[in-house]
């Protein structure tokens, strides 16, 4: 899992990079081995939103370099799935989610730290590079026959998409609701959809495999990412601090995230 996460961190790699990232997300196990105990300081497990798959490996690499012998295990899924895993007892030391509302279902426990906002993101409408449906504006999404894919309503990108469509004043038919933003992006990259709504960072990671449809002025939905410790692992706070550090923020900025 760790090695796969590192290989999926390359931004701007086009279709191959997106397919690798999708494979990583699809391979997320519910059971994570070797972590979470205060006596097991060599492994730190971080569960995170799928949209962070390109940036957190660099943060983990930095932390490992500063703590010889430490192994940071990264696992990515929809934020709602991450919270469900923690509530059901899956081993985890740190969680990083794609919006503050995703924290609401998280059961409070004494070992949980306070959430800290570390990044922001916005939405983009993307189409395949050759744009076979000829989509030039958001209004084109309402045309008959356009295959639009979006995130499921219960995950952050799905909630944000609903707000964006309301801002745009359109009610397009949706061909499918995907489990997370990377699954949505992958369908567009592979030409299995005519358009999709994804985060700006995911659109950037796809590079020339997709084209971005311009949004009208003022149409913007901004989401804020929280991170927090969920165990008493001695290095859980160190990961949070690394993410908030100058070099952590540099990685986030390079990937296209906003910085609060």
**Residue ranges of domains in the chain, CATH in brackets:** 42-120+223-255 (3.40.190.10), 121-213 (3.40.190.10)
**Using one digit for the tens of pLDDT, what is the confidence trace for 234-247?**
999 999 999 999 99
Q: For helices 246-254 and 56-66, what crossing angle results, to 10°?
A: 150
Average pLDDT over residues 176-205: 96
Res. 3: pLDDT tops 90 = no
Phi, psi of 80, deg, nearest 5: -65, -35
Mean of the per-residue pLDDT values of the chain: 87
Binding site feature residues: 51, 79, 181, 199
Both tokens of 58, joined, read: 């660099």
Q: Enter the pTM of the model.
A: 0.81
> Is residue 105 a contact partner of residue 88, using CB atoms and an 8 Å limit?
no
Binding site feature residues for molybdate: 51, 79, 181, 199
């Amino acid at each position: 899992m760790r090695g796969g996460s590192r290989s999926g961190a390359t931004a701007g790699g086009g279709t191959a990079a997106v397919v690798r990232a999708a494979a990583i997300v699809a391979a997320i196990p519910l059971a994570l081995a070797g972590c979470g105990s205060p006596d097991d300081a060599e492994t730190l497990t971080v569960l995170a939103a799928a949209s962070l798959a390109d940036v957190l490996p660099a943060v983990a690499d930095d932390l490992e370099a500063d703590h010889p012998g430490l192994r940071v295990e990264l696992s990515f899924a929809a934020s709602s799935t991450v919270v469900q895993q923690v509530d059901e007892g899956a081993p985890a030391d740190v969680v990083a989610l794609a919006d503050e509302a995703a924290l609401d279902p998280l059961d409070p426990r004494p070992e949980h730290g306070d959430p800290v906002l570390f990044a922001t993101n916005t939405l983009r409408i993307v189409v395949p590079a050759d744009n076979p449906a000829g989509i030039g504006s958001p209004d084109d999404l309402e045309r008959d026959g356009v295959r639009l894919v979006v995130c499921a309503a219960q995950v952050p990108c799905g909630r944000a998409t609903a707000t964006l469509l309301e801002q745009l004043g359109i009610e397009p038919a949706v061909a499918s609701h995907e489990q997370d933003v990377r699954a949505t992006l992958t369908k567009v990259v592979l030409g299995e959809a005519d358009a999709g709504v994804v985060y700006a960072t995911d659109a950037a990671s796809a590079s020339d495999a997709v084209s971005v449809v311009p949004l009208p002025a003022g149409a913007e939905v901004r989401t804020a990412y929280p991170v927090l410790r969920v165990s008493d692992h001695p290095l859980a706070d160190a990961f949070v601090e690394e993410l908030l550090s100058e070099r952590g923020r540099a990685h986030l900025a390079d990937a296209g995230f906003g910085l609060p």
